[in-house]
Amino acid sequence: MIKVMIVDDSAVVRQVMQEVLKSAPDIQVIATASDPIFGLAQMQRQWPDVLVLDVEMPRMDGITFLRQIMQQRPTPTVICSSLTEKGAQITMEALEAGAVSVITKPTLGVGAFLRDQNDELIGAIRAAAAANPRRINLKLNAPKLSADAILAAPTGGGAMARTTERIVAIGVSTGGTQALEYVLPALPRTAPGLAIVQHMPEHFTRSFAQRLDGLCKIEVKEAVNGDRLLPGRALIAPGGKHMLVKRSGAQYLVEVIDGPLVSRHRPSVDVLFRSVAKSAGPNALGIIMTGMGDDGARGMKEMHDSGARTLAQDEASCVVYGMPKEAVRHGGVDDSIGLDRIPGAIAAYGNGIFA
């Protein structure tokens, strides 16, 4: 049984979340609180397995509270934040402080919205319960489509020639914001172009990319349709859109498109990896990192079979060893390595050295 505590200054949000979570047989709401001060007092009596936390509250804001909790007793935390530009920026700070995922809510009609998004809320709590926040200082009922919904699988006809232009494709989910904040700032300006899918809601990826851009030697930006993959540049798929890699002559471009959820996600790692298998083949390095579920496992196998080099983050350094584990199980991973080795592997690959 996953013991959950909800801290939100809205009585409506607290009530609706409790109603929604009653439908999950493995989740128990043990307490609710209108602000962090009340919340901390209740947590001293019974500590939750997962904390669901608003960010803008009276007496103490959610980020200050989260930082205090992560110092005292690291606890998997799901942030419940508003769908606004300001909300996105604040949520980036919460993710930096150690939150493992984000549930978005509108400024109006919150009750109805949360009822509609009950599978996403339940999935986020289950993912958080499987997370290990100490390692870094889902539409559950929807039809689970494969990447076939976006583009056809590689045919396997003919080997693609190797070129000097190399690219890197990364897929990551729960715990990924912290992991990427470790990997990308460690890369040199000469690093190969990177295409990244981080499972994150719409409106949040731009703030995330801007934050990373300020930390890195390389350029980091939210991808726009037609952007080129260039050395020293990382493109992050926009939340709510799929991102594919296309080849145009000797250049690699990204295509940003709408489409159905694939592997229950949009953007989907499977879609990105399949497009890289088709467009780059042996001229690409695929890396799958911390995350819950199996998005990317099939796409990584397709990259591997197309001649790409493939790596998975190892269990010891993952917040959630779900996506990498499934990729290994599908037989698409050349090697599993620790988070601390990933920046060096990317830089080496860009220099023509297999990681």
Task: Given the residues 81, 82, 101, 173, select the one marked as catalytic.
Answer: 173
- Based on the residue annotation, tell me whether 199 is a catalytic residue of this protein: yes
- Based on the residue annotation, tell me whether 295 is a catalytic residue of this protein: yes
Domain ranges of the chain: 2-129, 160-350
pLDDT tens track for 229-240:
999 999 999 999
Q: What pLDDT score does 31 carry?
A: 95
Superfamily of domain 2-129: Response regulator (3.40.50.2300)
Which amino acid would we find at residue 129?
A: A
Q: What is the CATH number of domain 160-350?
A: 3.40.50.180
Residues of 85-99 as b/e, b for ≥16 C-beta within 10 angstroms? eebbebbbbbbbbbb
* Cβ pair 9, 34 in contact under 8 A: yes
pLDDT tens track for 162-176:
556 899 999 999 889
pLDDT tens per residue, the chain (355 residues)?
999 999 999 898 899 889 889 989 999 999 999 999 999 899 989 999 999 998 888 788 888 888 888 888 889 999 887 755 666 777 777 877 888 888 877 666 767 767 777 788 888 899 889 887 666 542 333 445 556 655 677 765 444 555 568 999 999 998 898 899 999 999 999 999 999 999 987 778 998 999 899 999 999 999 999 999 999 999 999 999 999 999 988 899 999 999 998 988 899 999 999 999 999 999 999 999 998 889 999 999 999 999 999 999 999 999 889 999 999 999 999 999 999 999 999 999 998 876 5
Measured CA to CA in angstroms, residue 349 lies from 82, 228, 248, 269 at distances of 40, 19, 22, 21
Domains 2-129 and 160-350 share a fold: yes
Task: Given the residues 34, 35, 82, 199, select the one marked as catalytic.
Answer: 199
- Based on the residue annotation, tell me whether 304 is a catalytic residue of this protein: no
Task: Given the residues 81, 207, 295, 336, select the one marked as catalytic.
Answer: 295
Q: What pLDDT score does 164 carry?
A: 62
201-204 contact pairs (CB < 8 A, 24+): 201/83, 201/102, 201/104, 201/239, 201/240, 202/83, 202/104, 202/238, 202/239, 202/240, 203/83, 203/84, 203/85, 203/87, 203/88, 203/104, 203/239, 204/88, 204/91, 204/92, 204/102, 204/104, 204/239
Which amino acid would we find at residue 103?
A: I
pTM to 2 decimal places: 0.76
Q: What pLDDT score does 141 carry?
A: 38
Q: CA–CA separation, 184 vs 287, rounded Å?
A: 13
